[in-house]
Structure formats: structure tokens, C-alpha cells
Amino acid sequence: MRTRHPLFFHSLIAACAWLFSLSVSASLPIPAAPAINAKGYILIEHSTGQVLAQKNPDERLEPASLTKIMTAFVVFGELRAGRLSLDDEVTVSEKAWRTEGSRMFIEVNTRV
């Protein structure tokens, strides 16, 4: 009968510690967003959709380097798959030429 008491006591301590850790972690506030030198940004927690940090989230802004990184990622994937070659050329459309943002300073209908 004495061997059950230490096991019960240890289980009770473990359960109390677990409950305490839940209450502490649930009450931790989200820290303030760091100072970021950007016109706008938004950081959203994927699984809950909770906005963690934001600055001008509704202002329409042109994408920057992330777009270039994704373009390179897609291009290299297509090269690897054999659907694109480094020798392929594209013709610059008027729509592409008029798009704001980074530019190559080339004319409409130029093949690159």
C-alpha cells in the first residue's frame, strides 16, 4: 500500500506542473514588432490566421526582392524540368513594358 502513495504523489506533482505551464504559456503576450524600415508589411501566423505584426497592411505597394527570388525559383525549376532553356527568348509585351517597378529599360517588342 505504501508503494502507491509515492507514485500518486509524483503523478499529482507532474499534473500540477503541466497545468501551471499551460496557464503561463497562454498568458504570455506577443512582443511588440521590431522597428523595420519598410513602407508596409504584415506577418500572419499560418495555423490561426492571427496577425502578429503589421504596418500599413492595406496600402498597395509594389513587391520588392521577394518577387525576384520567387521568379528565380520558378525559372530554375523550369530549367531543371527541361521546360525552359537558357537559350529561349521572350518578346517584351506592352503590358510588361508598362508595369511599374524594376525595369530593364528595353523597348516594346524587343526579344530578350
Give the total number of structural domains in the chain: 2
Q: Are residues 70 and 47 in the same domain?
A: no
Q: Are residues 17 and 36 in the same domain?
A: yes
CA 105 – CA 69 distance, rounded (Å): 20
Q: Are residues 25 and 48 in the same domain?
A: yes
> Coil, helix or strand for 43?
strand
CA 90 – CA 79 distance, rounded (Å): 15
Query: Which residue among 34, 55, 76 closes a domain?
Result: 55
CA 33 – CA 28 distance, rounded (Å): 15
Query: Which residue among 55, 82, 97 closes a domain?
Result: 55
Q: CA 45, 49, 50, 51 torsion: positive or negative?
A: positive
Q: Tell me the pairing of strands 51-55 and 41-44.
A: antiparallel
Tens of pLDDT, residue by residue over 16-59, are 666 666 555 555 677 777 788 888 888 888 888 888 888 999 99
**Overall size of the chain counted in residues:** 112
Query: Which residue among 39, 55, 71 closes a domain?
Result: 55
For the chain, give the percent of residues with pLDDT over 90.
18
pTM for the structure as a whole: 0.38
Residue 92 structural domain: 62-112
Q: Are residues 44 and 79 in the same domain?
A: no
Q: Are residues 46 and 80 in the same domain?
A: no
